[in-house]
């Protein structure tokens, strides 16, 4: 794609190895075929056009814009109106999801017909628009499956071309939409009419609903999650280019096609179970202990993944991927549980907006840092380095949580919620 549209970073590469080998032998040059075109002047001089050519790597600012802002900004902003429309009006939700899924598949297929970079920009924006509606019907596990499938598509690109990768990807959306229309029934949506007396009763039942959800704990949780999410996005959007650049002849897809999906799902399950168990014994703060542990464990493992050569980097990636994917459910639960009753949906909306708007655009820093210190060290800073910064903020949540939970537990009258807010160890029956 990048070579066809000429966007992103470019390097001077050998175009005809046989011709280069004969040229070196004829002129008795002290060089090899692999290093013959490392001098970029070879690609600038017309005399060497038979031997060297520009290779567009697909990295650089234009790629990072496609991966980040052109998708994440619209995807984040559209969450608010889509949620309001779905909740406030009597709309057939199954039909909305089906329409979004069909349109998403059509846009993916249209991407395969792109003729220039601007077409990619337009289709990327459209994908963000329709994925927001489609995403309402997806499980979080789909992220791991999709990430692994991206490396399967590398094989398709090598054999059939990049356009076929988009055309093939569009097919499952159409199939799933057809199955959903046939098999899924629209659940009955009851719209409750609340009068003033019921509103006063609800306010009396949940006295903590008057407390602002924008507490220091909430702000630090958003910063922590945004940094953690940003470091993860940098890894996901650049790891393919990283392996292609540093290990072009190693079959990394043999590992990346199964590690994200298997260990991602395992990590999400393990994180949820550990967080629930910790919350049972230590209350709300227990989840934060697990949150800190996940980030702490992932930092040295992430450094090893970027520092070591294959296959050792992939061996470390197995436990690392489980560790880095344990945080998602824990962070969401932490944001919701610290919020007052009646403000939890609003708190969750701010959380989703923040991690996508701020964390999702961190990858735009990669091309500027890469030009100064190289791709490997750029990822070191923006992946495990940002995780380290996230850990610092995450450690701050524990004392803030104790203050916040003590205040909420003194106000709430809900016994079940009060036990969760309590930091004392629970007794086993």
- Is the Cβ–Cβ distance between 274 and 410 less than 8 Å? no
The whole-chain average pLDDT of the chain stands at 80
Predicted confidence at residue 212, as pLDDT, reads 61
Q: Which of 140-144, 198-202, 269-273 has the lowest mean pLDDT?
A: 198-202
In a domain, 317, yes or no: yes
Q: Does any domain span residue 200?
A: no
Instruction: Write down the pLDDT at residue 147.
Output: 64
Residue given tokens 């840092």 in the structure block: 369
Indicate if 357 and 216 belong to the same structural domain: yes
Section 237-247 average pLDDT = 88
- Are 7 and 96 members of one domain? no
Percent residues over pLDDT 90 in the chain: 20
111 and 240 both lie in a single domain: no
- Give the pLDDT confidence of 84-120 residue by residue, as tens digits: 666 566 667 777 778 878 888 888 899 999 999 888 9
Q: CA 42, CA 54: separation in Å to the nearest integer?
A: 10
Residue with tokens 């009955």: 188
pLDDT band at 195 (very low <50, low <70, confident <90, very high): very low
Is residue 377 predicted with pLDDT exceeding 50? yes
Residues 369 and 228 both lie in one domain: yes
Q: Which of 269, 340, 248, 331 is nearest to 295 (CA)?
A: 331
The region of weakest confidence among 123-127, 203-207, 208-212 is 203-207
Please check whether residue 382 lies inside any domain of the structure: yes
Of 163, 191, 219, the position where a domain reaches its end is 191
| Residue 196 in this model has a pLDDT that exceeds 60 | no
Quick check: is 161 in a domain? yes
Query: Which of 31, 56, 81 lies at the terminal end of a domain, its last residue?
Result: 56
pLDDT band with cut points at 50, 70 and 90 for residue 203: very low
Same domain? 427 vs 341: yes
Asked if the model's pLDDT at residue 138 lies above 60, the reply is no
| 150 within a domain of the structure (yes/no) | yes
Q: Which of 14-18, 208-212, 348-352 has the lowest mean pLDDT?
A: 208-212
Residues 323 and 245 in one domain: yes
What pLDDT, on a 0 to 100 scale, did the predictor assign at position 194?
A: 43
Supply the pLDDT for residue 306: 96
Question: pLDDT value at position 226?
Answer: 92
What is the pLDDT confidence band of residue 408, given thresholds at 50, 70 and 90?
Answer: low
Co-location of 287 and 377 in the same domain = yes
- Cα separation of 8 and 368, whole Å? 12
Task: Compute the half-sphere exposure of residue 126: CA atoms within 13 Å on the CB side of its CA.
Answer: 18
As a whole number, mean pLDDT of residues 352-370 equals: 87
At 344 the pLDDT is 74
Q: Do residue 78 and residue 117 come from a single domain?
A: yes
**Mean pLDDT, residues 34-48 taken together:** 83
Residues 152, 250 within the same domain = no
Q: Which span out of 159-173, 317-331, 344-358, 366-380 was modeled with the highest average pLDDT?
A: 366-380
Number of residues that this document lists for the chain: 429
Q: Tell me what pLDDT residue 222 has.
A: 92
Decide if 334 is inside a domain.
Answer: yes
161-174 pLDDT, tens per residue?
A: 888 888 888 888 88
CA angle 311–308–159, rounded 5-degree value? 50
Q: What is the pLDDT of residue 191?
A: 45
pLDDT value for 192: 42
Torsion of CA 257, 263, 269, 274, to 10 degrees: -160
Q: Which of 191, 219, 254 is the last residue of a domain?
A: 191
Placement of tokens 């199954």 in the chain: 94
For residue 70, is it within any domain?
yes
For residue 320, give the CATH number of its domain: 1.20.1250.20
Q: What is the pLDDT, as a whole number, of residue 210?
A: 54
CB 130 within 8 A of CB 109: no
Q: What is the pTM of this model?
A: 0.75
Do 129 and 262 lie in one domain? The reply is no
If you average pLDDT over residues 134-160, what whole number do you get?
65
Report the number of distinct structural domains present in the chain: 3
Look at residue 203 and tell me if it is in a domain: no
pLDDT at 186: 66
Domain that holds residue 110: 59-191
Does 94 share its domain with 130?
yes
Selected residue with higher pLDDT from 158 and 323: 323
Q: Are residues 91 and 14 located together in one domain of the fold?
A: no
Mean pLDDT check: name the lowest of 144-158, 336-350, 409-423: 409-423
Q: Which residue has the higher pLDDT, 414 or 380?
A: 380
Query: Over 90: is that where the pLDDT of 42 sits?
Result: no
For residues 281-315, one letter each, b for 16 or more C-beta atoms within 10 angstroms of the residue's C-beta and e for the rest, the string is: ebbbbbbbbbbbbbbebbbebbbbbbeeeeeebbe
Q: What is the pLDDT of residue 137?
A: 41
Instruction: Give the residue-averaged pLDDT of 244-251.
Output: 87
pLDDT value for 355 = 86
Render 325-394 in DSSP notation, one character per residue.
Answer: TSHHHHHHHHHHHHSPTT-HHHHHHHHHHHHHHTGGGGGGGHHHHHHHH-HHHHHHIIIIIHHHHHHHHH
Q: Which residue has the higher pLDDT, 29 or 304?
A: 304
């Amino acid at each position: 794609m990048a070579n066809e549209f000429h966007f992103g970073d470019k390097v001077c590469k050998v175009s005809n190895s046989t011709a280069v080998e004969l040229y070196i032998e004829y002129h008795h040059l002290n060089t090899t075929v692999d290093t013959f075109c490392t001098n970029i002047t070879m690609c600038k001089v017309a005399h060497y056009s038979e031997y060297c050519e520009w290779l567009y790597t697909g990295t650089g600012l234009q790629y990072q814009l496609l991966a980040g802002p052109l998708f994440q900004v619209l995807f984040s902003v559209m969450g608010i109106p889509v949620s309001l429309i779905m909740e406030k009006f009597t709309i057939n939700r199954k039909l909305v999801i089906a329409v979004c899924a069909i349109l998403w598949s059509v846009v993916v297929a249209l991407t395969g017909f792109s003729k220039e970079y601007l077409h990619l920009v337009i289709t990327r924006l459209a994908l963000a628009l329709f994925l927001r509606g489609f995403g309402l019907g997806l499980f979080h596990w789909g992220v791991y499956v999709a990430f692994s499938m991206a490396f399967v598509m590398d094989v398709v690109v090598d054999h059939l071309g990049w356009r076929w990768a988009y055309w093939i990807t569009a097919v499952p959306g159409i199939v799933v939409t057809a199955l959903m229309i046939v098999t899924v029934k629209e659940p009955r949506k009851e719209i409750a009419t609340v009068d003033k007396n019921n509103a006063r009763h609800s306010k009396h039942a949940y006295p903590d609903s008057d407390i602002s959800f924008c507490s220091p704990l909430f702000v630090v949780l958003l910063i922590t999650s945004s940094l953690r999410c940003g470091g993860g996005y940098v890894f996901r959007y650049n790891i393919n280019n990283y392996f292609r650049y540093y290990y072009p002849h190693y079959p990394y897809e043999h590992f990346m096609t199964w590690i994200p999906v298997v260990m991602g799902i395992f990590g999400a399950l393990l994180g949820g179970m550990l967080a629930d168990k910790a919350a049972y014994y230590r209350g709300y703060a227990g989840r934060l202990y697990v949150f800190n542990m996940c980030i702490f464990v992932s930092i040295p493992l992430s450094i090893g993944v970027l520092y070591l050569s294959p296959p050792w980097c992939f061996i470390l990636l197995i436990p690392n991927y489980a560790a880095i994917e344990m945080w998602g459910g824990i962070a969401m639960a932490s944001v919701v549980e610290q919020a007052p009753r009646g403000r939890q949906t609003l708190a969750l909306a701010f959380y989703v907006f923040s991690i996508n708007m701020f964390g999702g655009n961190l990858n735009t820093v990669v091309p500027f840092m890469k030009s100064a210190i190289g791709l490997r060290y750029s990822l070191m800073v923006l992946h495990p380095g940002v995780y380290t910064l996230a850990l610092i903020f995450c450690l701050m949540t524990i004392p803030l949580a104790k203050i916040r939970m003590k205040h909420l537990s003194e106000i709430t009258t809900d016994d079940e919620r009060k036990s969760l807010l309590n930091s004392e160890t629970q007794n086993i029956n």
